[in-house]
Amino acid sequence: MLLIEDETEYIEPFITEIEKQYVVDVAYNGIEGSYLSSINEYDVIILDTSLPDMDPVVLCSDARACNISSPILLLSDRGTSNSAIKSLEAGADALLYKPVKSHELSAQVSALIRRSNGLPVPQIKIGEFVINIFSKTVFCQGKPIKIRRKEYDILEYLCVNLNETVTKEKLLEHIWGDGIYMQSNTLEVHVRNLRKTLSNFCDKELIKTVRGYGYRIES
């Protein structure tokens, strides 16, 4: 795996964990990253779109022009989303916005590797619902469900913790980030909207409230 990132502090937990499974090369600038990708074959390339020395669009297009087929995962600040979109058009495969949680990054990397190896993308099936973790989409009986991003994040996290009660505090931290103050009724509004959306497709209530504690989804 190749990580092209000039500031690695924020994903150190990811690097520590992923090194248990993969050999990780780290390039601290675009020129070094471009060189390493040209002489080695990587399962996945993780590319920061804010590198000071090289346009990520150029790096992606050059990689594809040189027949480098490794999946490219972009890490982007929301302020550089235009560059990220152009990089996707130039050949990158997926995009995550910073700050990114370690487990989200790991899941995306695993999904890209599975897809590049022709393996099925991870899905969570609960009753008539299917949650595709790679594409961040939800289906019921094969029909796509339009769902807001925050509400999808809530649904996915509850599904990942299937049959476990997740506290409101844990959900708030996971969805909005540690250190960001959000009132619990903000979460309750999103859960209510999510329930309403899902109820249009299934009579059974998927998300259960554990009064005074949090929420859970049961298999």
Domain definitions of the chain by residue range: 2-116, 123-217
Reported as a single tens digit per residue, the pLDDT across 119-134 is 555 678 888 888 877 6
Reported as a single tens digit per residue, the pLDDT across 40-63 is 999 999 999 888 899 989 999 999
Q: Exposed, middle or buried: residue 7 (CB in 10 Å: 0-12, 13-18, 19+)? A: exposed
Mind listing the pLDDT tens digit of every residue in the chain (219 residues)? 999 998 878 778 878 878 888 889 999 999 999 999 999 999 999 999 888 899 989 999 999 988 898 999 998 886 666 777 888 888 888 888 887 777 778 888 888 887 777 655 567 888 888 887 767 788 888 788 888 888 998 998 898 888 889 999 888 888 887 655 666 688 899 999 999 999 998 878 899 999 989 999 987
CATH 3.40.50.2300 fits domain 2-116: yes
Nearest residue to 193 (alpha-carbon basis) of 142, 148, 135:
148
- Give dist(CA 34, CA 4) in Å, integer: 9
Q: Which long-range contacts (CB under 8 A, 24 or more apart) does 207-213 make?
A: 207/155, 207/158, 210/165, 213/165, 213/167, 213/168
* 123-217: CATH number: 1.10.10.10
Looking at the chain, the number of H-run helices and the number of E-run strands are: 8, 12
